Amino acid sequence: MLSVIQRTVLLFACVMYPVVAGADASPEKPNTALHAIAQELIDAGFREKQALTERLTTIEDPNTLKFMQVMVDGDLYYRKDDRVIVINGDDAITSFFTGKEVVLKSKRDIKKISVNNKLRIVLRGGIARLQVFSDDPEQRMQAAVNLLKSADDLDPETLEQALNTEKNTDVNEVLLLVKGIRLLDADNEAQRLEGISLLSGSLYPDVRGALANFQRSAEADGRTTELQAVNEAIEKIESLLTLNSVAENLYFGLALGAVLLLAAIGLAITFGVMGVINMAHGEMIMLGAYTTYVVQQLMPDHIGMSLVVAIPAAFLVSGLVGIAIERGVIRHLYGRPLETLLATFGISLVLQQAVRSVFSPLNREVATPDWMAGTFMINPALELTFNRLYIIIFSLLVLALLALVLKRTLFGLQMRAVTMNRPMASSMGIRTGWVDALTFGLGSGIAGIAGVALSQLTNVGPNMGQAYIIDSFMVVVFGGVGNLWGTLVGAMSLGVVNKLLEPWAGAVVAKILVLIFIILFIQKRPRGLFALKGRAADMG
């Protein structure tokens, strides 16, 4: 282990690193320990690499931190003919030690210095030990959290130094946990008990893991005082976790509800308002997802922007296909639900096979923009994933927008008029045929928008629509046919019920239970949660 002074020198060197790298004085093959190890890494198998990497983390060199970071990211390569270590960055390939750009004849001239999981664990520990002194509080936080995993490899002086210099209370808290984990291994009971009290109530998985291990060893050795203390600490954590998991399941339920809502809103129009059993509804979602894919192919450098562009594009594509289906097939079949069902089922097969022929049967890759990845951390045990959060918001926006169209626009008024009383609307001069077509187009277009959102969650392939058709009908029937508010409440309650059942019943049984519940519910209330009342409902 390194002394404090050595550490400080190393730290200073790390801070100074950009200045050093900026200077063009360093030779291509410097005579340093780091360079020597890099050369050894080239030829080593994974077993030897393990030992080499452990040595690497202790090398005092201004470049060590950078070397480990590049290596853990999988960007560390070497040129085959002269064994020069290079960084294979996004934009350019540069020599690691000189920083100069390296021009290659072919991509095959360089070879990766590969890493596996065990090496990554060693490297992350090494990086954390250096970065805990970084200037950036976020990096220090990251380092401290990583130190929880490799607490045993940290020498006590470094930890004390980090604790003394740390001004940020959040980071300090985590560092105290690191200290607590270390104290669990201490030689005397008082220190171990202090460790337990430091860890009590923390929600970090690694802390719980460390306490669980301690519990096992205390039980085995019969150390009763400590066992009692650690049991209390674990109990406290467990009760906090239970609270968190209820909140988490609610969130999961809302997120699932949002997906159901998105998939079902379009159907609430075509099936709910128009009464058309549209089995091709899922394929409208699929078309929306493929539109997202095509838009991304057209603007590969703007992934985030492409999603925004894809929303109206998907609406148009699915909407137009919907209008074509209505004008071509469905309008000849009004009042004949069985034939409509068969015809639209046929259309769904045609659309699936068409996509299979045009785009191949393989799934297409739709990239997720950075701002949709990651989690919003409330505490270490409760993290809300951003993509679900956006989808919840997005589904509510779509619903609000649709309600606005129905309630506040001329088209919405005409649409409602046609639904309520077709002959009367027609005699008032409304072209009911066109209203039908546009209504169907609107429903399909919204399904297309749902496809944009779903492309961020699941695979984009020819079969993706089928996964949602049953759920969509379920939501619309449950919520009450012809009622947007019912669709919202139906989707959200089905989502939440499903997710609350899942932890103790399992995914398969939870789904069955929900279906049984709906069957029973429909027996009691055939018109769903929010049935239309009055004349409109009777007219049908």
Partner 1 sequence: MKKVSLKTLIKASQIIGMTAMAAGVSIANAADDTIKVGVLHSLSGTMAISETTLKDTVLMMIEEQNKKGGLLGKKLEPVVVDPASNWPLFAEKTRELLEKEDVDVIFGCWTSVSRKSVLPVVEELNGLLFYPVQYEGEESSYNVFYTGAAPNQQAIPAVDYLINDLGVERFVLAGTDYVYPRTTNKILESYLKSKGVAEKDIMVNYTPFGHSDWQTIVSDVKKFGSAGKKTAVVSTINGDANVPFYKELANQGVASEDIPVVAFSVGEEELSGFDTAPLVGHLAAWNYFQSAESEANDEFIEAWQNYIGDEDRVTNDPMEATYIGFSMWAEAVEKAGSADVDKVRSAMYGIEVPNLTGGTAVMNENHHLSKPVLIGEIQEDGQFEIVWATDAEVKGDAWTDYLPESANLISDWTAPVNCGNYNTVTKTCGGSTVAGE
Contacting partner 1 within 380-399 (CB under 8 A)? 383, 385-388
Which is closer to partner 1, CB of 362 or CB of 400?
Answer: 362
What's the min distance (Å) between Cβ of 465 and partner 1? 11
CA distances from 503 to 203, 382, 494, 512, 534 (A): 20, 16, 15, 14, 42
Question: Which residues within the stretch 272-311 sit at the binding site for partner 1 (CB under 8 A)?
Answer: 274-275, 277, 279
Tell which one of 7, 129, 140, 149 touches partner 1 (CB under 8 A).
149
Token pair 């008032």 in the structure block, residue = 428
Stretch that binds partner 1, among 8-16, 269-277, 282-290, 483-491 (CB under 8 A): 269-277
Out of 36, 92, 457, 515, point to the residue binding partner 1 (CB under 8 A): 457
SS3 state at 121: helix
Which region among 19-27, 223-231, 294-302, 461-469 touches partner 1 (by CB under 8 A)?
461-469
Non-local CB neighbours of 221 within 8 Å, separated by 6+ positions: none
Could you say which residues in the range 222-261 bind partner 1, by CB under 8 A? 241, 245, 248-249, 252, 255-256, 259
**Residue 240 is inside which H or E element, if any?**
helix 224-267
Nearest approach, Cβ of residue 5 and partner 1 (Å): 32
Site for partner 1 in 407-426 (CB under 8 A): 419, 422
What residues have CB less than 8 Å from 163, skipping those under 6 apart? 172, 175, 176, 179
Q: Give the range of 18-26, 222-230, 310-318, 473-481 binding partner 1 by CB under 8 A.
A: 473-481
Question: From the centroid of its chain, how far is CA 294?
Answer: 22
In angstroms, the Cα distances linking 116 to 51, 146, 217 are 13, 18, 31
Q: Are 271 and 277 in contact (CB under 8 A)?
A: yes
Beta bridge partners of 384: 376
DSSP 358-422: HH-SSPBP-PPPGGGSSEEEEETTEEEEHHHHHHHHHHHHHHHHHHHHHHHSHHHHHHHHHHH-H
Q: What is the pattern of x (binds partner 1, CB under 8 A) and - over residues 508-537?
A: x--x----------x---x-----------
Selected range binding partner 1 among 187-195, 371-379, 399-407, 438-446, rule: CB under 8 A? 371-379
Longest distance between any two alpha carbons in the chain, whole Å: 93
Select from 83, 118, 332, 525 the one that contacts partner 1 (CB under 8 A): 118
Let me know: does 193 contact 226? Beta carbons within 8 Å. Answer: yes
How many residues bind to partner 1 according to rule CB under 8 A?
A: 84
Which is nearer to partner 1, 18 or 205 (by Cβ)? 205
Residues between 329 and 368 with contacts to partner 1, criterion CB under 8 A:
334-335, 337-338, 341-342, 345, 349, 353, 356, 360-368
230 is written with which tokens?
């650690």
Return the number of other C-beta atoms located less than 10 Å from residue 228's C-beta: 12
Question: Per residue in 37-58, is it b (16+ CB within 10 Å) or e — as a string?
Answer: bbeebeebeeeebbebbeebbe
Using CB under 8 A as the binding rule, whether residue 493 contacts partner 1 is answered as: no
For residue 323, the minimal CB distance to partner 1 (Å) is: 18
**Is residue 463 a contact residue for partner 1 (CB under 8 A)?**
yes
Least distance between partner 1 and beta carbon 511 (Å)? 6
Q: Is 168 helix (H, G, I), strand (E, B) or coil?
A: coil
CB of 67 or CB of 473, closer to partner 1: 473
Nearest to 196 by CA among 186, 181, 209, 212: 181
Q: How many CB atoms lie within 10 A of CB 82?
A: 8
We find the least distance from the C-beta atom of residue 375 to partner 1, in angstroms, to be 6
Residue number with CB closer to partner 1 (17 or 521): 521
- Parallel, antiparallel or unpaired: strands 382-385 and 375-379: antiparallel
Say which DSSP state 136 is in.
-
Least distance from partner 1 to the Cβ atom of residue 132, Å: 18
Single out the segment in contact with partner 1 by CB under 8 A; choices: 19-27, 78-86, 378-386, 402-410.
Answer: 378-386
Using alpha carbons only, what angle is made at residue 159 by residues 155 and 162, rounded to the nearest 5 degrees? 145
By beta-carbon proximity to partner 1, the closer residue of 23 and 358 is 358
| Minimum CB–partner distance for residue 500 and partner 1 (Å) | 10
Query: Binding string, 52-81, against partner 1, x = CB under 8 A?
Result: ----------------------x-------
Within 199-218, the residues that bind partner 1 by CB under 8 A are 205-206, 208-213, 216
Q: Which one, 51 or 507, has the nearer CB to partner 1?
A: 507
- Least distance to partner 1 from the beta carbon of 524, Å? 13
How is residue 153 written in tokens?
Answer: 């490899």
Contact 514, 253 (CB under 8 A): no
Distance, in Å, from the CA atom of 457 to the CA atom of 387, rounded to the nearest integer, reads 8
Residue 447 binds to partner 1 (criterion: CB under 8 A):
no
Q: How far is the CB of 439 from partner 1 (least distance, A)?
A: 11
Q: Minimum distance from CB of 502 to partner 1 (Å)?
A: 5
89 sits near partner 1 (criterion: CB under 8 A)? no
**Is residue 7 near partner 1 by the rule CB under 8 A?**
no
At closest approach, how far in Å is the CB of 59 from partner 1? Answer: 22
